Amino acid sequence: MKKTLFLVLLLASFFAKSQKSTLNIIPQPVEIEQFAGLFTLNKATIISYNKVEGRSAAEMLIQKISTPTGFSLKVQEGKNGGIQLNINDVPNEKIGKEGYTFESNTKGVVISANTSAGLFYGIQTLIQLLPKEIEGKELAKTAWTIPSVKVTDYPRFAWRGVMFDVSRNFFSKEDVKKYIDQLARMKFNTFHWHLTDDEGWRIEIKSLPKLTKVGAYRVARYGHFGDRAIPKEGEVATEGGFYTHEDIKEVVRYAQERNVTIVPEIDVPGHSMAAIAAYPELSCNKNPKTFVNPGASIADWYGNGTFKVLYENTLNPSDEKVYEFLDKVFTEVAELFPNKYIHVGGDECYKGFWAADEGCQALMKKLNIRHVEDLQGYFMNRLEKILKAKGKKLLGWDEILEGGISPEATVMSWRGIKGGIEAAKMGHDVVMTPTTFAYLDYNQGENTVDPPIYAGLRVSKSYSFEPVPDGVDAKYILGGQGNLWTEQIPNLRYAEYMTYPRAWALADVYWSPKVSKNWENFSKRMEAHFDRADLAQVNYSRAVYDAIVKTTLKNNKLSLELGSELSDLDIYFTIDDTMPDSFSPKYSKIIELPEGPITLRVITYRNGKPLGHLITLKRAELEKRATKQ
Q: Which residues are catalytic?
A: 197, 271, 348
Quick count: other Cβ atoms within 10 Å of Cβ 474?
11
- Side chain identity, residue 360: C
Helix axes 519-536, 502-511, angle to 10 degrees: 130
Beta strands 159-165 and 190-194 are: parallel
The CA distance from 31 to 99, in Å, is: 12
Q: Let me know how long the chain is.
A: 629
Question: Cβ distance 165 to 245 under 8 Å?
Answer: no
Q: What share of the chain is helix, strand, coil (3-state, %, to 5)?
A: 35, 25, 45
Separate counts of helices (H) and strands (E) for the chain: 18, 29
Q: Of the candidates 291, 284, 421, which has an alpha carbon nearest to the alpha carbon of residue 352?
A: 284
The CA distance from 8 to 425, in Å, is: 66
CA dihedral (117, 119, 123, 125) positive or negative? positive
Residue 408: half-sphere exposure toward Cβ, Cα within 13 Å:
14
Residue 536 backbone class (left: φ over 0; alpha: ψ -120 to 50; beta: rest): alpha
String of DSSP letters for 302-353: -SSS-EEESS-----TT-HHHHHHHHHHHHHHHHH--SSEEEEE--S---HH
The CA distance from 551 to 560, in Å, is: 5
Q: How far is CA 531 from the centre of its chain?
A: 20
Q: Facing residues of 162 across strands?
A: 191, 482
Question: Cβ distance 61 to 74 under 8 Å?
Answer: no
Question: Cβ distance 594 to 583 under 8 Å?
Answer: no
The CA distance from 573 to 23, in Å, is: 35
